[in-house]
Amino acid sequence: MRDKDLYKQILGIQSPWMVTEVELSMTAGEVTVHVEHDSEVRPTCSHCGAPCPGYDQRSRTWRHLDTCQFKTLIVAAVPRVTCPTHGVVTVTVPWAEPGAGCTALYEALVLDWLKEASIQAVARQLSLSWNAIAGIMQRAVTRGLARRQVASPTRIGVDETSFRKGHDYVTVVTDQKKGHVLHVAEERTTSSLASYYDTLTEGQKAELESIAMDMWPAYIKATLDQIPEAERKIAFDKFHVAKYLGGAVDQVRKQEHKALMGEGCDDLKGTKYDWLTNLRNLSRKRQCTFKALRASTLKTARAWAIKTLGMQLWHYVSRTWAEKGWKQWYAWAIRSRLAPIKKVARTLKKHLGGIRNAIVLQASNGASESMNSRIQGLKVRSRGFRNKGRYIQAIYFHFGGLDLYPEGVRGSMTHST
Ligand SMILES: [Zn+2]
């Protein structure tokens, strides 16, 4: 008798449900708690809440949090009712979501573990099947996406992230202010990004202030197609421009290093990193040698100076000044007689509108960039994903800022791990 009361308390079982029996199997290390619906109380339809005549009962089992290190199961005969409006309906139980094989609290425990470890690891730890854990994760993401408030992000970033080696990508849209992933789509095509815009209302599309991206034609096209005033909103951000210019500096260095070595001069040997990194990242000693290199008449030093000045354009906040600064910079770059620099300068000129937008709107794809590395980190920790669907789901699970917990466990989590 005392066991029943204890488990009633532990499980939070309330009328019309009651604990009828608690079975302890020492050999199996299991506690089975039998729960029944009060036969005096008419069960209610789970759709409309109307008390209805019973139809039949079905026995179901749920895994619950361990009690005193015993694996704990809830077993209940769940009534089905005949509702005049909804027909034959299974009554909902307060401890689990419909169709779930574990209680809501147990699911919450699994979700907490999943935030820290892979599906395989969680399955092993909790002695459940891979499919059971993957199912809990999948339901949580579906639940979280359904619950998500229709947010109106104003500053978004679009980036591609690789799924497998080679040209296999997914497109990730990030809320630049909140740092959450808003949308994940397969490939990196026009329709990948269009599938995100399709989820927005016309009003929300108009409310977008900036869309930071790489100079990737498919993303540009999707945005021009669907977003009003896209020409003023598309922003080719600093990080991507820096990447292009950095690439050009590196090409100049490689060519020059080869030529110098031919003449028996190894001035550029081992300096690759110096030219590409932020000055602050260099040691005091390296800074000194690098200072001398920068001041030299080397072509690489010239390329580096052009890159550095180009990046300083981001300090301008007015369109006019950004314009003037740009013109001067472009003239210098194009007269530099450095082919890789000239090539990048022409690419940038072609995309000048978007670069100016990025400067004036102070739009940066920094949130997308850091999201990209977090996603790649997740991929390494998870040792890859079985398929793209799982990959996309994991991105939403970890980075979607979603409310993942089952109903009844939300807000006031009653367990702690
Ligand atoms: Zn009903």
- Amino acid identity, residue 81? V
| Mean per-residue pLDDT over the chain, rounded | 88
- Ligand 1 centroid, distance to 96 Cα (angstroms): 20
| pLDDT attached to residue 127 | 85
Interhelix angle 130-147/104-116, nearest 10 degrees = 100
Question: What spacing in Å lies between the alpha carbon of 42 and ligand 1's midpoint?
Answer: 13
Ligand 1 centroid to Cα of residue 53, in Å, is 11
**Residue 56 burial (C-beta neighbours within 10 Å; 0-12, 13-18, 19+):** exposed
Nearest CA-CA partner of 50 in 9, 11, 82: 82
pLDDT at residue number 151? 66
**Which stretches in the chain have pLDDT values below 50?**
1, 411-417
Cα(88) to ligand 1 centroid in Å equals 9
Handedness of CA 183, 186, 189, 194 (dihedral sign): negative
The alpha carbon of 81 and the centre of ligand 1 are apart by a number of angstroms equal to 9
Provide the 10 A C-beta neighbour count for residue 267: 14
- Quote the ligand 1 centre to 50 CA distance (angstroms): 6
pTM of the model: 0.80
Cβ proximity of 342 and 335 under 8 Å: no
CA–centroid distance, 83 to ligand 1, in Å, is 5
Burial degree of 12 (CB within 10 A; 0-12, 13-18, 19+): middle
At 326, which amino acid appears?
Answer: W
- pLDDT for the residue 416: 36
Q: Return the DSSP state at 93.
A: P
User: What is the 91 CA–ligand 1 centroid distance (Å)?
Assistant: 10
Buried b / exposed e over 154-187, threshold 16 CB at 10 Å, is: ebbbbbbbebeeeeebbbbbbbbeebbbbbbbbb
The whole-number pLDDT of residue 410 equals 57
What is the DSSP-derived secondary structure letter of residue 44?
Answer: B
Q: How far is the CA of 85 from the centre of ligand 1 (A)?
A: 5
Which three-class secondary structure state does DSSP give residue 414? coil
80 CA to centre of ligand 1 in angstroms = 11
Distance 8 CA to ligand 1 centre (A): 28
What is d(CA 351, CA 335) in angstroms, rounded to the nearest whole number? 19
